[in-house]
Amino acid sequence: MEKTISLVLADDETMFLGALTSLLGLEEDLQALAAVSNGAEAVAAVKEHRPDVCVPDLEMPELDGIGAAEQIAKSVPCKMIICTRHARPGVLRRALATGVTGFVPKTMPRQSKNSGPPAGRKLPATRGSRAGSKKAAGRSSDPPVPARDGLG
Protein backbone atom coordinates (compact mmCIF):
# COMPACT_ATOMS: atom_id res chain seq x y z
CA MET A 1 0.00 0.00 0.00
CA GLU A 2 1.28 3.47 -0.89
CA LYS A 3 1.91 6.07 1.75
CA THR A 4 -0.81 8.69 2.01
CA ILE A 5 0.47 12.24 1.49
CA SER A 6 -1.12 14.64 3.94
CA LEU A 7 -1.91 18.20 2.86
CA VAL A 8 -2.91 21.57 4.22
CA LEU A 9 -4.50 23.79 1.56
CA ALA A 10 -4.81 27.57 1.81
CA ASP A 11 -6.56 29.97 -0.56
CA ASP A 12 -8.78 32.98 -0.04
CA GLU A 13 -10.85 32.15 -3.14
CA THR A 14 -13.56 29.95 -1.62
CA MET A 15 -14.68 28.32 -4.86
CA PHE A 16 -11.11 27.44 -5.90
CA LEU A 17 -10.27 26.10 -2.44
CA GLY A 18 -13.40 23.95 -2.40
CA ALA A 19 -12.74 22.60 -5.89
CA LEU A 20 -9.10 21.84 -5.12
CA THR A 21 -10.03 20.11 -1.87
CA SER A 22 -12.67 18.01 -3.63
CA LEU A 23 -10.44 17.05 -6.55
CA LEU A 24 -7.48 16.11 -4.37
CA GLY A 25 -9.86 14.10 -2.17
CA LEU A 26 -10.55 11.83 -5.14
CA GLU A 27 -6.95 10.62 -5.05
CA GLU A 28 -6.43 7.58 -2.84
CA ASP A 29 -2.93 8.61 -1.77
CA LEU A 30 -3.75 12.24 -0.86
CA GLN A 31 -5.51 13.49 2.25
CA ALA A 32 -6.41 17.12 2.93
CA LEU A 33 -6.13 17.61 6.68
CA ALA A 34 -7.24 21.25 6.57
CA ALA A 35 -8.44 23.85 4.07
CA VAL A 36 -8.04 27.44 5.27
CA SER A 37 -8.55 30.90 3.81
CA ASN A 38 -5.40 32.89 4.66
CA GLY A 39 -1.70 32.57 5.35
CA ALA A 40 -1.95 32.97 9.13
CA GLU A 41 -4.47 30.14 9.27
CA ALA A 42 -2.17 28.06 7.05
CA VAL A 43 0.71 28.48 9.53
CA ALA A 44 -1.55 27.49 12.43
CA ALA A 45 -2.99 24.49 10.52
CA VAL A 46 0.50 23.23 9.59
CA LYS A 47 1.67 23.53 13.19
CA GLU A 48 -1.42 21.65 14.39
CA HIS A 49 -1.63 18.90 11.74
CA ARG A 50 2.04 18.60 10.67
CA PRO A 51 1.27 17.61 7.04
CA ASP A 52 3.74 16.37 4.46
CA VAL A 53 2.88 19.26 2.12
CA CYS A 54 1.30 22.70 2.42
CA VAL A 55 -0.24 24.22 -0.74
CA PRO A 56 -0.91 27.93 -0.14
CA ASP A 57 -2.01 30.53 -2.65
CA LEU A 58 0.63 33.17 -3.33
CA GLU A 59 -1.62 36.16 -2.61
CA MET A 60 -3.83 35.87 0.48
CA PRO A 61 -4.98 38.22 3.23
CA GLU A 62 -3.21 38.52 6.59
CA LEU A 63 -0.11 36.67 5.38
CA ASP A 64 0.75 35.77 1.79
CA GLY A 65 1.99 32.35 0.68
CA ILE A 66 5.65 33.34 0.85
CA GLY A 67 5.27 34.78 4.35
CA ALA A 68 3.48 31.60 5.41
CA ALA A 69 6.29 29.52 3.87
CA GLU A 70 8.91 31.51 5.81
CA GLN A 71 7.11 30.96 9.13
CA ILE A 72 6.41 27.29 8.45
CA ALA A 73 10.04 26.62 7.45
CA LYS A 74 11.18 27.92 10.86
CA SER A 75 8.96 25.58 12.84
CA VAL A 76 7.75 22.49 10.94
CA PRO A 77 9.42 20.23 8.37
CA CYS A 78 6.88 20.55 5.57
CA LYS A 79 7.24 20.84 1.80
CA MET A 80 5.67 23.98 0.34
CA ILE A 81 4.11 24.14 -3.12
CA ILE A 82 2.75 27.58 -4.00
CA CYS A 83 -0.40 27.68 -6.10
CA THR A 84 -0.64 30.92 -8.08
CA ARG A 85 -1.83 32.79 -11.11
CA HIS A 86 0.91 35.42 -10.58
CA ALA A 87 4.12 33.66 -11.62
CA ARG A 88 6.41 36.67 -12.01
CA PRO A 89 10.14 35.81 -12.02
CA GLY A 90 11.03 38.02 -9.04
CA VAL A 91 8.27 36.53 -6.93
CA LEU A 92 9.31 33.01 -7.90
CA ARG A 93 12.94 33.69 -6.95
CA ARG A 94 11.86 35.14 -3.60
CA ALA A 95 9.69 32.10 -2.89
CA LEU A 96 12.44 29.65 -3.81
CA ALA A 97 14.81 31.50 -1.49
CA THR A 98 12.43 30.81 1.42
CA GLY A 99 12.49 27.08 0.74
CA VAL A 100 9.36 26.71 -1.38
CA THR A 101 9.61 23.39 -3.20
CA GLY A 102 7.62 24.27 -6.30
CA PHE A 103 4.75 26.05 -7.99
CA VAL A 104 1.44 25.00 -9.47
CA PRO A 105 -0.30 27.40 -11.86
CA LYS A 106 -3.99 28.12 -11.27
CA THR A 107 -4.47 28.96 -14.91
CA MET A 108 -3.69 27.21 -18.16
CA PRO A 109 -3.29 28.83 -21.56
CA ARG A 110 -6.54 28.87 -23.47
CA GLN A 111 -6.68 26.15 -26.09
CA SER A 112 -7.82 26.84 -29.62
CA LYS A 113 -11.54 26.29 -30.04
CA ASN A 114 -10.65 23.93 -32.91
CA SER A 115 -8.37 21.77 -30.82
CA GLY A 116 -9.65 18.29 -30.13
CA PRO A 117 -8.26 15.34 -28.26
CA PRO A 118 -4.50 14.77 -28.44
CA ALA A 119 -3.25 13.23 -31.68
CA GLY A 120 -3.91 9.53 -31.87
CA ARG A 121 -6.69 9.64 -29.25
CA LYS A 122 -10.36 9.33 -30.03
CA LEU A 123 -13.10 10.52 -27.75
CA PRO A 124 -15.25 7.64 -26.55
CA ALA A 125 -18.78 7.50 -27.92
CA THR A 126 -21.34 7.92 -25.18
CA ARG A 127 -24.66 6.19 -24.99
CA GLY A 128 -27.29 8.28 -26.70
CA SER A 129 -24.56 10.31 -28.38
CA ARG A 130 -25.33 11.89 -31.70
CA ALA A 131 -21.68 12.03 -32.74
CA GLY A 132 -22.43 10.38 -36.08
CA SER A 133 -25.54 12.38 -36.91
CA LYS A 134 -25.72 15.09 -39.54
CA LYS A 135 -26.72 17.65 -36.93
CA ALA A 136 -23.71 16.84 -34.73
CA ALA A 137 -21.43 17.01 -37.75
CA GLY A 138 -22.57 20.55 -38.50
CA ARG A 139 -24.74 19.64 -41.48
CA SER A 140 -28.05 20.61 -39.98
CA SER A 141 -30.73 22.28 -42.03
CA ASP A 142 -30.99 24.89 -39.26
CA PRO A 143 -29.33 28.23 -40.07
CA PRO A 144 -26.07 28.88 -38.18
CA VAL A 145 -26.22 31.09 -35.11
CA PRO A 146 -24.27 34.29 -35.83
CA ALA A 147 -21.27 35.14 -33.64
CA ARG A 148 -21.67 38.22 -31.43
CA ASP A 149 -19.03 40.75 -30.53
CA GLY A 150 -16.14 38.58 -31.69
CA LEU A 151 -16.99 35.83 -29.19
CA GLY A 152 -17.67 33.13 -31.76
- The pLDDT score that the predictor gives to residue 112 is 53
Please give the pLDDT value at position 13.
Answer: 94
Do 52 and 77 contact (CB within 8 A), yes or no? no
For the chain, which ranges sit under pLDDT 70?
A: 1, 87, 109-152
Report the residue count for the chain. Answer: 152
pLDDT for res 147: 43
Which domains are assigned to the chain?
5-105 (3.40.50.2300)
Please state the φ and ψ torsions of residue 136, each to the nearest 5 degrees: -65, -30
> What pLDDT does 131 receive?
42
Strand partners, 84: 105
DSSP 118-146: PTT--PPP-TT--TTSTTTTT--SSPPPP
pLDDT of res. 1: 57
CA–CA separation, 57 and 34 (whole Å): 14
Strand order from edge to edge, sheet including 53-56 = 30-36, 5-10, 53-56, 79-84, 102-105
Spatial contact of 46 and 54, defined as CB atoms under 8 Å apart? yes
